[in-house]
Chains A and B, each alone.
Chain A
Amino acid sequence: MPTHQEPALRTTGLRKAFGDHLAVDDIHLTVPAGSFYGLVGPNGAGKTTTLAMAVGLLRPDAGSAEIFGVDVWHDTVRAKGLIGVLPDGNAMPERLTGREVLTYLGLLRGLPPAVVAERADELLRVLELDSAERTLVIEYSTGMRKKIGLAVALLHAPRLLVLDEPFEAVDPVSSATIRAILRRFTGGGGSVIISSHVMALVEQLCDQVGVISGGRVVAAGPLADVRGAATLEDAFVDLVGARTGGTEGLAWLTS
């Protein structure tokens, strides 16, 4: 039985290799219930692969993932009932409109039709997708795709939201809306995990941070502990051992 004492997400020794490339290597993460967790890391660090394994969309080579104590790979159906997911770059039912996508998925989940209609209406209005009533998802812009994906993740009122790059390509106004929604969600007892490249955003939103690099966790814990006295950005550059390039070479670029 899931309880509030169990962490919202716990991964133990997750590992995944694509051919010879070890994308994720022994990832241990604990996301306390009720926290707003930021997963950060450079391009190709394994964030998306980790999240996909944590929610049950990619089978790990080794390790396990638990959502509120429910094993994702053994008690799949119950685990899926607890989470809402926004994966990065996956297709949707492309030939439905935004409202139809929400109605379809709500009904498929077995929500009562009246509840589905009411929630779809509210989500579309809040996320400002209601003006595109006749547009099919295949014709949506990248930002609109993110927003309908977020609406799908929220629709069944999950206890944990797992959002891969939720702010990418989203305009500033919508971004503020999404932040407000997510804050309300955690305020009401929900838990959120986001992955992001934007350190300022993670600093502003999250109370817990995990830094992964080269498929491994290099730091994790409360935001204040991870960043120490510096900003998260400085701590991040320090942790992943990168030096900021861009000052040498490219001499021909001057006009």
Chain B
Amino acid sequence: MADVLTPGLPALARHMVRMRLALMRHSLRGDNASNLYTAVLFGLVMAFGTIAVAVLWPAHLPLVLAVWLCGWVFGPIFAGGGSEALRPEYFSMLPVTPGRIAAALLAGAFAGPAPAVNLVALLSLPVYGWRFGPAGVLIGLAAALTTLVTMVMISRVVVALIGLFVRSRVTAATVGIVTGTAIALCGNGWAPAVALGGADAASWSQVLVRVLPSGWGVAAVEAPWPLALAVLVAGAGVIALLLAVWASLLSRRVVSAARGGVPPRRGTPRPFPATGGARVVAAKELRAWWRDLVRIQLLATAFSYAVVTPLLLVTVDVWILVPFTGLITIVIAAASSANLYGADGTALWLTLMTPGAERADVRGRQLAWLLIVGPAAVVLSLGGTLVSGQTWAWPWTLGLLPALLGGGAGIIVLLAVTSLVPGTDPHRRGGNPLSTGADETAETGLAWLVLLAVPATALPAAGAVLLHPWAGVATGVLTGALGAWGFGRIAYRRLENHGTDLLNLMKHGPPLKADKPTVADLPVRHRIGVTICYAIAWLPLFPQGLVPMVMKIFGVEERVWFLALHLPPLWQWPTIIFMIATGLLMYGYAILIPMRLGSSSSAIR
């Protein structure tokens, strides 16, 4: 007799939670663990910041919660598909209805650090409710729970929708453009709001952030109790609706055969160019970009973010960023192509087995990246500078453009071989085309590294422009060429000598016996110090140090939130220098302490 017992929902949910926790426990080794600590610590800082907002500036609470919602919606798209430790495909043969599977998977989805951190942030609701008496606290607590579930559900539904409906280049590019625009709005959305409404903007944006699901909790706390109850019931209804939608999307995903985000094709492909070396690799790479919906989507995100951000500021008649549209494009596009070798998985074996192919492989990838990003960056830079009428920007654009293009082409291949994040081989990925199976925290960390490293390659050119405008152009061309050539050379040398290590990192994961100690092995106080430094060192260095420096050099009058510019002139330069020094010291500490540990690991162990 075949057993026809079906597990009940509570049992199923319990098993999912256990399975998820077991998977997490097994993946928490070495770098993964330290990445997780960093992410959780950073999240907790933000969560307690949200609670502080509820206490000190309650008027801004709905807006801050809307930012959390944005994180849940766009985070997975940008960082690679959302956590898919429990793939729906694993459970497709269980004799259970899709609704129950979805509910149980949802329970599993909560067994992770992100929802816990978000719950801490949502405790801002009962804290806010305290102003309205004990009932406010109670309603706040209930709203915190429904809001948490709603946010996680919305995130899952968005990922599922994209997984199912991104089947062509047009839909992939559309999702990318929407994502890029949304991220740009999160950063500079205030500009069009100010432009549209002036003083009125405050009132209607207050309504907007309460209408979003993230703001219902605040609305419920503020409302008289019958209305509050109605809002909570409506929240529960939305959760039920989202769950039903998710269940049906999941069951369709499990039976859909499409794999790997391949766009539909017509006709026989164009023949390969009869060439060799780097150029044939570039031809392969260009085909790979054009035939991978994820890469198309990430590129569309990068381009739309870079184009929309300056345009948002144009609405308040600030043209300062328009000449730099192309430069922003280069940096963001580099960040989204940081894990080049990790994305291809174990296909690296073919490069390693072809005599002398490592050099051609690295140079070909650089060439392909330059062909994809370069022309658009050049057109956007020249066009942006012309249209904006900011003639002072010419030396900057012309100097930084070659510096960033060359630096970007160098940095991406260098980091691709030195900081590879292993994922799942493309042909073994599940039904979610966005997910590479790689550790998202590590991939995001790699993208941040590119965001820091690529602009750093343009610093010599920037310095030269300050000395003499046209010296900057020469320096930019020189450092760009040097960056692309030199970093590429280090990359292929490393591939020649350590290619098999990279291959086996992708095939078997990180070695069980950690050869070098990681941040997780540091003494606790250093671990906390290094984590904090990595998390916030950018703050003094870039926005509070380098940016006000540039603004002061150009005599830009706006003070925005740059501390130095709010101080009396006498103190401005010392503050800027102090901030830059603090940022550099923090990075130095965060980088040097683990290195020192690495060189004296035997003494510590």
Contacts and interface: CB of A to CB of B under 8 A. Distances in A.
**In the complex, which range does the number of interface residues on chain B fall in?**
35 or more
Contacts of A136: 262, 291
Contact of B356 (A77, A97, A152): A77
B352 A95 contact: no
A81 B344 CA distance: 24
A97 B353 contact: no
A153 B364 CA distance: 23
A109 B354 contact: yes
Contacts of A139: 259-260, 262
B566 interface: no
Contact of A91 (B2, B268, B283, B346): B346
What interface size band does chain A fall in? 35 or more
B262 A107 contact: no
Contacts of A133: 268
A92 B513 CA distance: 29
Contacts of B350: 92-93, 105, 152
A138 interface: yes
B431 to A, nearest CB: 14
B284 A93 contact: yes
Contacts of A81: 355
Contacts of A57: 349, 352-353, 500, 503
Q: Which of B259, B262, B271, B353 has the most CB of A within 10 A?
A: B353
Contacts of B427: 91, 94, 137-138, 140, 145
Contact of A56 (B426, B500, B507): B500
A61 B201 CA distance: 67
Contacts of B288: 93, 95-96
A140 B259 CA distance: 11
A103 B349 contact: no
B347 to A, nearest CB: 4
A19 interface: yes
A57 to B, nearest CB: 6
A138 B260 contact: yes
Contacts, number: 119
A134 B354 contact: no
Given A95-B262, A95-B287, A134 B513 contact: no
B500 A59 contact: yes
B429 to A, nearest CB: 9
B276 A107 contact: yes
A92 B425 CA distance: 9
Contacts of B165: none
B112 to A, nearest CB: 26
A84 to B, nearest CB: 9
A56 B501 CA distance: 11
A81 B356 CA distance: 10
A152 B427 CA distance: 18
A254 B344 CA distance: 46
B360 interface: yes
Contacts of A255: 1-2
Nearest to B275: A107
Interface string B258-285: 0110100101110110111100110110
B354 A105 contact: yes
Interface in A199-255: 255
A19 B275 contact: no
A80 B350 CA distance: 11
A222 B101 CA distance: 55
Instruction: Determine which residue in A85, A93, A97, A255 has the highest number of CB atoms from chain B within 10 A of its CB, and name it.
Output: A93
A90 B354 contact: no
A136 B293 CA distance: 14
Contacts of B511: 18-19
B357 interface: yes
A2 B233 CA distance: 80
Interface string B561-579: 0000000000000000000
A58 interface: yes
B540 interface: no
Contact of A100 (B2, B272, B349, B353): B272
A18 B268 CA distance: 45
Contacts of B280: 104, 107-108
Nearest to B344: A91
A89 B350 CA distance: 13
Interface in A58-106: 58-59, 76-78, 80-81, 83, 85, 87, 89-97, 100, 103-105
Contacts of A18: 508, 511-512
A194 interface: no
A113 interface: yes
A188 interface: no
A196 B271 CA distance: 36
A107 B500 contact: no
Which 10 residue pairs are nearest across A and B when measured between Cβ atoms?
A19-B512, A113-B274, A91-B347, A90-B346, A95-B291, A91-B345, A77-B355, A91-B425, A107-B280, A91-B346
7 contacts: A19-B513, A56-B352, A57-B352, A91-B345, A104-B280, A107-B272, A108-B277
Given A77-B355, A94-B344, A100-B269, 8 more contacts: A56-B353, A58-B503, A58-B504, A91-B425, A95-B291, A100-B287, A108-B281, A255-B1
